[in-house]
Amino acid sequence: MMEGFGEIMTLEETAKYLKIGNSTLYKMAREGKIPAVKIANQWRFRKEDIDKWLQEMINREILISQTKKQKK
């Protein structure tokens, strides 16, 4: 592996990593909802970017949950 690039995953590998369907991930990538790059007509995902994105989604859900509890 080349230093500085991190692990690059295919759509199938990323879907398996996130435990979601390939078509769901494809739609998310196409709509820009998840960090991805299209190379030679194929989607690629950097594991480091996916981990960061996933943590941001978790943090956002925690914040939303806490806000809802405070409003009650």
For 37-56, how does the pLDDT look when each residue is reduced to its tens digit (9 = 90+)? 999 999 999 999 999 999 99
CATH number at residue 17: 1.10.1660
Sorting pLDDT into bands at 50, 70 and 90, what band is 70? Answer: confident
25 is a domain residue: yes
Contact 49, 56 (CB under 8 A): no
For 6-40, how does the pLDDT look when each residue is reduced to its tens digit (9 = 90+)? 799 999 999 999 999 999 999 999 999 999 999 99
Structure tokens at 47: 């594991």
What is the structure's pLDDT at 12?
95
What is the structure's pLDDT at 30?
97
Structure tokens at 26: 């494809």
Domain range enclosing 29? 8-71
Count how many domains the chain has. 1
- Asked if residue 1 has pLDDT above 50, the reply is no
**How many other C-beta atoms can be found within 10 angstroms of the C-beta atom of residue 15?**
19
DSSP symbol at 34: S
Contact 26, 11 (CB under 8 A): yes
2 is a domain residue: no
